[in-house]
Chain A
Amino acid sequence: MTKVEVQQKVLNENQRLAQGLRESFREHGIYCANFISSPGAGKTLLLERTLALFPPAKRVAVLTGDIQTDNDATRLARYGFPVRQITTGGCCHLDARMVERALEGWDLASLDTLFIENVGNLVCPASYDLGEHDKIVILSTTEGEDKPLKYPATFSRAGLVILNKIDLLPYVSFNLDVAKENIRKVHPGAKILEISATTGAGFKQWEQWLEQKRAACSEAAPALVLG
C-alpha cells in the first residue's frame, strides 16, 4: 500500500479557472462582484436599480444564474447593458467554468464592471470562487436575523453585506441591530450597508462603495498598449 500525500484543494480545478478569470479581470481593469443571497432577498431588483444608475455609456455587463428560466436576464436586459443568463439546469451554484463559458465572445476590453448574480442559495455558492473581487451577500428584512449564524461560511467570506428591504422594517419582526450583531459575530470586520432596492433608500452609500471599488480596479489595471 502506498500513501500519497496530495494536500490540495478539492476544488483545485475550479480554483485554477477562477485564477484565470481573476487575471483576465485584472488585465482589463474590470471590477467583478458576485451577488449571493437566498431566493427572494432581492438580488435582481438590486441589480436593476443599480444598472438604472449608470449612464448608457458605462461599461457594465451582467451574468445571471438560475436553475431554470431566463426571466432575470429579460428583466436586466431592459437597461441596455449586455446581459447573459446562465441556466444551470439543476445545479445550485455557479462555478468558474460556467462563468468562463458565459463570457465567451464578449470583448472584455469594452467593460469595466461585471456583476454576477449567483443562484439563490446561501450554502453552495460560498465554496466556488468565480474570480470575483468581492462576494456581496444580501440579507433581507423578510428573512430571519439569525441567517448569518446559520450560514457562517457565506457571511464570513462577504466583502460587503447588504441589508435589503429596510422599507419593510415597520411591518416585519426583523431586528436590524440583532442582524448586524450576528453578521459581526461571524465576520468581525464586515462592511454593512442598509438599503431598499424598492424605494432606493441607502443607494447613495451603495453607489459610493461601488464607485470606490471600480476606481481601484481601473487604476490597478496595466496601462493599455496602443497601436
Chain B
Amino acid sequence: MHEMGIATSILDAARKEADRRPGARVCKVGVRIGEWSGVDPESLRFCFDALLAGTEPEPPALAIEFCLRQNRCGVCGTVFALKDFEIQCPGCGAPATEPVSGDELELAYVELEEP
C-alpha cells in the first residue's frame, strides 16, 4: 500500500550514492525485503518501474532479496524459517526462539557506471 513511498526512498538513496561520484549513473539497486516487513516485493517492483518510466534511456534495475522470517534457537543454535508461526525449535524442541530475520527493509548495494 505504501510501496510507492518506499520505492521513492530507495531511488533517492541510490541517487545520493551516485551523486558522491561525479558523472556516475545508477545501473542497479539491491534491496533486502523481509517477509514481515509489511512491503510486498511485487508491488514494490511495480512502483519502482512506474517511477522510472520514461525518465531515462537506461533506467536502473531493481534486485530484491526476499528474506524469510527466521528464528534462532538460543539452546542449540538451530536457525529455521517459521512455518505457521511456530516458534518452537525443530532441532531440540526448545519452546522459545528469537527472530533473526524477516523484518528487513534495507538498501543493500548500488551498482554504478562511472565515466
What is the interface of chain A, defined by CB distance below 8 A to chain B?
1-14, 91-93, 121, 123-124, 126-127, 149, 151-154, 156, 185-186, 188
Identify B106's interface contact among A9, A13, A124, CB under 8 A.
A9
Interface residues on B, range: 20 to 34
Is the contact region of chain A dominated by helix, strand, or loop, or is it mixed? mixed
Contact between chains at A9 and B105 (CB < 8 Å): yes
Tell me the bound Cα distance from A93 to B105 in angstroms.
Answer: 17
Cβ-closest chain B residue relative to A14: B9
B73 at the interface (CB under 8 A from A): no
Cβ-closest chain B residue relative to A182: B85
Cβ-closest chain A residue relative to B107: A6
Cβ-closest chain B residue relative to A126: B38
Contact between chains at B108 and A5 (CB < 8 Å): yes
Identify A8's interface contact among B36, B87, B103, B107, CB under 8 A.
B107
What is the interface of chain B, defined by CB distance below 8 A to chain A?
1-2, 5-6, 9-10, 12-14, 17, 21, 24, 27, 31, 36-39, 69, 85, 87, 96, 103, 105-114
Tell me the bound Cα distance from A7 to B96 in angstroms.
Answer: 29
With a cutoff of 8 Å between Cβ atoms, the chain A residues found around residue B9 in the complex are 10-14
Identify A127's interface contact among B39, B106, B112, CB under 8 A.
B39
Contact between chains at B36 and A92 (CB < 8 Å): no
Contact between chains at B10 and A4 (CB < 8 Å): no
